[in-house]
Amino acid sequence: MLQTIALSVALSAGTMWNLDASKSTVSYHLVHKLHQFTGTDHGHLDGKALMKPDGTVQAQVVGHVKDFDSENSNRDEHMMETVEAARFPNVSAKALVHFDPGQASGTQKADAKVEMNLHGKNETKTVPVTLTYEGANRVHVTSDFDASVEGFGIQRPQLLFVPINDAMGIKLDLWFDRAQ
By the criterion CB under 8 A, which residues form the site for other proteins?
34-35, 46-50, 56, 58-62, 66, 69, 71-77, 80-81, 84-90, 92, 94, 96, 113, 115, 124, 159-161
Closer to other proteins by Cβ: residue 115 or 177? 115
Closest residue by Cα to residue 131 from 151, 110, 147: 110
User: Half-sphere exposure (CA, 13 Å, Cβ side) for 87?
Assistant: 8
Instruction: Report CA-CA distances (Å) from 105 to 14, 95, 100, 101, 140.
Output: 18, 21, 10, 10, 11
Closer to other proteins by Cβ: residue 54 or 106? 54
Structural contact between residues 62 and 90, judged by C-beta atoms closer than 8 angstroms: yes
Tell me the closest approach of the beta carbon of residue 174 to other proteins, in angstroms.
Answer: 13
Tell me the closest approach of the beta carbon of residue 94 to other proteins, in angstroms.
Answer: 5
Tell me the closest approach of the beta carbon of residue 102 to other proteins, in angstroms.
Answer: 18
Tell me the closest approach of the beta carbon of residue 132 to other proteins, in angstroms.
Answer: 21
